Each structure stands twice: as structure tokens, then as C-alpha cells.
Structure 1
């Protein structure tokens, strides 16, 4: 959960003052869809629309990982983490069999698989530390930027910087001790892999429930809809579990359309590399960018990159959701200590995500849902790093729960 979730919007109508951002965001999605369909293809344009749905669900559900993990540690409230486990489990039930089939309707399907080793262990821990300082994970950064957060825009800029630095160092990290990618669907069989995955997620959810009951004597319930009838579907807020289920469905849809699950941070490294190349930094000669797929991405339009297009959609979808909720209100003033935390956190997240093959979405959510063992290692290491980040927040004038 990003930090915006801890300052939950009241969603009181403010349609008149937010008509302009509503129109801009809606037109951005519409024009972007048409342009990408013409310049690339309809499949790529569909990914922009899926990104828009993800952005709306993330914003209206205040759904992310950062604040949820911090709230579990500081307040002993695990509602957000249980929603995350449910989301991953629902996606896994669909994705593990699909990936075992290998293709559907002629579309090859590839999971979010990665080596299990030092690179993931170190990178995920760095990412967990960075996300508590930066104020959001990969998805949290995007949807809060879309919602108008200037502080998270700082985090995003430095996230991109860190991701580019990570591409320079990744070849060295890949030479450190590691096991090859381990696909539990292939190793254990589809049925057993699903059962083991659901059991692991259930254990995490049970631990959060036991800790919460011991601390408070009860489990926190989600707030009831604040708007009459079904108007909350358009204006929000959405129940946390409902938003998580929609995110799971959209991740499976991404797999079917793109041929791979939802990811975020590869796009950040690509944007940064293109900017660096444009100003004369010879990134094209770096080993990472000489690999065939990376070289092609660097030389092609950013609109041809699935992850980038979906990221654009997330920002626009979140902006539209925020405007409809009457909450699109950029704030320019950022205290220096908070700015510094955002910058450091962004660099750490970008670097850590590149080393560990993704963020909470690409490595944790899509990794575990794909049946990749590295997703579980990422989860454990990132949570430990997050503990360090929670401890470090007061050094920058950030308390345990409040968005600064």
C-alpha cells in the first residue's frame, strides 16, 4: 500500500473544480488508445486500456504494498497484507495452469521466472528499504503520481535513475551465486503447485491475523462504501478486497494479451536509458543493452514496449480516478528532508528492482502467481529491507504511518 492509503480521501463531490483533470485524463486514455492502435497495433492499445483499469483500481482501492507492510509492523493491523495474499492466490489459480499449457489461441505464454540467488536476495532487500523511504512501491509510485502527488513524482524520477544504474551493474550481479529459475508448476505439477502456493499465502495471511488478534483482540474490518447505491464504482472508494480481486483479473488478462504477466520497473530502466542515450551517455555499449531484446527495446519506440505502455495507462487511469473522486490536487511544496528521502528511496528502488528482476508487482505478485520460487525469496528479503526502512523513516522526519 502506498502512503496515499494512509490519508484516505473522503470522496466528497467536487466535480466542478475537477472537470479539467477529468477531461485531460479521459482524453489522454482515448487519444493514446487510438494513436497506439494506429502506430503499433490493437493489442498494444489494449494494454494501455488494461493499464488504465489497473490505475483506477489501485487509486480507488488505495491498493499497494508499502503502507500495508508498514501498518502490519507498526500498528499490527494486517488487513492490507491479507488482501495482497488473496490477490496473488486468485491470480495463481489461473496463471499456473495457463503457463503450464505454454500458449493459448496461438499466443505464447511466459511466466515471471528468474534465477534464485544473491542478486534477488540483495536487490529485494534494497528495494524494501527504498520503498519505505520513497513512500510507495512500483505500482504505488505510479498511481500516486497519477493522483497528483509531487513528492511521488520525485520518487519516480530517481526510481528511473536507480534503474538505469542497475542496468550497468546487473551483469556483474548475475555472475554471483544463484540457482537457475525454478518453476514449481513444472517441478511439482500444476495441481500440487497451486496447492503449495495457496498454502504458503494462507500461512502468511494467518500469521497476520494471529498477530493482529493478539495485539487488538479483533480483526479490523474495511470501511463501508461512503456513496449511495453503486455510485462508488465510478467515484470510489472501493473495498480493498474488491480492488485486489480486480487487479488479479487484470494481471491474468495481461498475461493473455501480452504473453507475460504484469510488470512495471523494466519500463523505468528503458525510459532512463533512452534519456541517457539522447544526452550522449553511451548506454547502448553497456553489456545489458547489447543483449538482443534490450538492444531492440532501446532502438525502438517506447510505445512498442508493453511495460511502458501499461505504465502510461496506470498513471492516466489513476489520474482519471482521482479527478472523478474530486481529489486531484497537486501539492508543490516538499520539505527538504522529505525530498531527500524520496530521492534516496527512488534510487534504491530502481537499483534493487533491476537486481531482483522486478518490484512488488513483477517479482512478488507476478512471480509467485507464475509459480516462480524467486518470488518467495523476493518477498522475504524485501520485507526484511522494509523493516530497516521503517526504522530509518524518522531520520528524514517521516513517522511510521503518516505521509509526509
Structure 2
């Protein structure tokens, strides 16, 4: 009877969480009054003329015109209807096609009559829906640990925005100290919430911070010895502060995430192995850690490579379509991504060695009193 009661409460809680998340998605879809910028909901779409266009490099595209009729949903003009003309291309490189029901941010023109120009789509409901799906997935798959992961992500996101504000206040002059400190705080908070405050967390933290620092230091030595030949910091777009410290800050955060992933897997596995086989020597634990690292570092390095390079692919294709050479397109779009991938790969390899070494020396065979500490 008691077990059934617990199950009923559990499902009741799941239903309540799901209902709250769905209600929050609905609220975000009706939050237009919170915005000072005018919002228009599209009520009708009329397709206009179609034309073929080409450029000096013979790139072909098709442009289409839409006449959008919508209603203003916030501000002093709320409730009024406006007509908007939108031109979009088949490639959708710099524009987009709009549909009935979409909401868009606009600039209103009141003279000679009320008109509007689209700035961008209102995407907050879609983004919040994805956040809710991620929360549900974490809770379903990880249970209580998922709550800790969600809390750590929330805290880290808040700290990241605070770091951006601090960087803005210092005009970018302290970007490296700010994000180095932020990386250490990220590691402490994430590992503390996910693993708990214990010896395993300390070992993992030392491995993560140590591997990240060594990877960045080694990369800086190599870049200095080669005179930064082939490293095009100027290819960073929209940068209004010194690009090199900003790039290093980006690399530190990226290496930290990869190192944390590897170190957590290796050390957690070695802790469990030591609990099951207390007689294992330090050498055996080190070799086991290396074997685990060899199994996971290959796929992880490739995943990071794909992430770094995929974000540069669209701009690289545009460069190639505009008559630029492969070498120039790569150097201006992919060189920094490739460099970040290589530094992250170095960090992953160093993490395997550091995590295996620190775990082999730091993990003790737990007695009965310590058993509960490890299990926590």
C-alpha cells in the first residue's frame, strides 16, 4: 500500500511539472505586452510577383514578394491592422518567408499612413519550448541528478551573463581574467552540484582545471614560437575589442567543457571499480583510466571538431560562391575553428592522463564508514 501511494504521488508530481511547463509555454506565447518594441501577428498572406536574379559570379536565385496583413498586439497602436511588404529569396540567406500566425517585431511608420517594416521574427516561444523539452528529458532520464544538472545550468547561465556585463563595463580590457575566473567557478559549481562535495569532486576538479590550463599554455607557447603564422584573429566578426584575448577566453570555456566530460566519466568509473575491487593497485587503476579515456576521447574529439567547423560552413560556402579561393575561404572562416578543435583535442588527451594519474593516487578503498561518502 505504501509503495502504491509513493507511485501515485510520483505520477502526480510528474503531471504537475508537465502542466506547469505547458502553461509556461502558453504564457510565453502571449507575453507581447512585456515588450516595448511593437509586435504584429500575421493574419493573412498574399503572394506577389516572382523574379529571377543573378550576381556577377552567375549565382542564380529567385525572389518572391509577399503582402502580409497583420494586427498589432501591443503598445499604443494595439489592435490596429497594418500591411507589410516582404521580399524573400529561395535561398533564404538573408531573409525569410512568413506564414499566417507568426509574430514579428516591426518598426512602425505613422506618416503618411500607418505602415510597418519587419525587423525579425518573435522566437521566444519556440526557444522556451526547447528549454522545457530539455528540462523534461533531463528529469525523465536522470531523476534527482537531472534537477542538479538543471540548477547548475541555470546558475552557470546567470554567471555567464554577469561576466558579459562585467566585460562590457571594463570595455573588454579584462576579458581574459574575467573568463578564466568564470571557468573555474563553472567547474566548481557544476561538479559540486552533480557529484557532490567529496573527494571524487576534488580529484575531478583538479584534473579539469589542470588539463585546461596546460592545454591553453601549450597552445600559447606554440603560437608564440610560430609568430601566430596562419592564425587570423581579424576573421572574428563584429569584434569591437582586442580579438586575441577574446579568442583565448572562447577556447578556455570550450576546453573546460570537454575536459569536464572526460574527467567525470573516467574518475566516476574508477571510483566504482575501486569499490568493487579494493585490491587494485595504483598502476592498475591508472591503466584502467587510460583504457576508458582511449575509448571515449576519439568520438569526443570528432564531435567537437564537427561543432566547431559546422558553424563556419554557411559563411565558407558564401565565400566560395563569391569567387574566393579555398585557401582564402578557409583562412577567413575555418582557421580559428580548426585551431580551437586542436587545442580542445590536446586538452582531452591531457585530461585522460591527469584524471587517470590523480584518481590512481587519490582514490582509496572505502571502509564501511567511508562507503556512504562515496555513494553520496
TM (normalized to structure 1)?
0.29
RCO higher in structure (CA 8 A, sep ≥6): 1
Q: Which entry has the higher C-alpha Rg, 1 or 2?
A: 2
Greater percentage in helix: 1
